[in-house]
Structure formats: C-alpha cells, structure tokens
Amino acid sequence: MQMDTPQQTATPLSKEQIRALTAFENLASEKIMVIQTLEQCLTLHDQLSSIQVFGFDSESKPTFKVGKKSTGPHVIQLATHDTAYVFQVSAEILDFFKTDFRK
C-alpha cells in the first residue's frame, strides 16, 4: 500500500527569524506519558489518531559486537506542542503502530 504525502521543501530560517522565536519551555512532567502496555495504547488510540502534526523519534539499544544486529526500536517518542508520548516498545506495541497508524 502506497501512502500519498504532499511534497514540501523546508526553508531554513534566517538568524534574525531564529532570534525572534520565543524561548523553548520544557514540558511539565505530568505532560509526559510513558506507555508500557497495549491496553494503554488502545486507550490513547483516538487521541493519537486525531493529532495532525507531531514530532517523532526512536531509540535502540546499541550493539557493541561486530555483526550483531540491533533488535530495536526499543523506545518510540511522539510529541505535540504540549504533550509527549514515550512508548517502551514490545512486540504488541510495535504491532499497534504497524497496523493502526498506516491507515
């Protein structure tokens, strides 16, 4: 299945535009949600599906042996302007992302 995405090119901000931005404020700890179970994912499904723009990051445990394959991602992070969702990845949670958010 191919997903159609709009083609956009980002334009770098000038130094003046960067200086004019408001200072970044950290999220309060109560706005950081740590998700460890499929049940928590299902509870958040509608909320997550309604987000139009979010930041994305993933982390994997490093491997230190030549030829050893990474088994990650181990953590997936989604963030909006006011909430961060940190998923501690299991097979169930990874399947949740693969099936529910490719639609």
**pTM (2 d.p.):** 0.71
Q: What is the pLDDT of residues 11-58, one digit of tens each?
A: 888 999 999 988 878 899 999 999 999 999 999 998 888 888 889 999
- The per-residue pLDDT for range 53-101, each reduced to its tens digit, is 889 999 998 888 898 888 889 999 999 989 999 999 999 998 988 876 6
Residue 11: the pLDDT is 86
Cβ(66)–Cβ(14) below 8 Å = no
- Angle between helical axes of 38-49 and 91-100 (0-180°, round to 10): 20
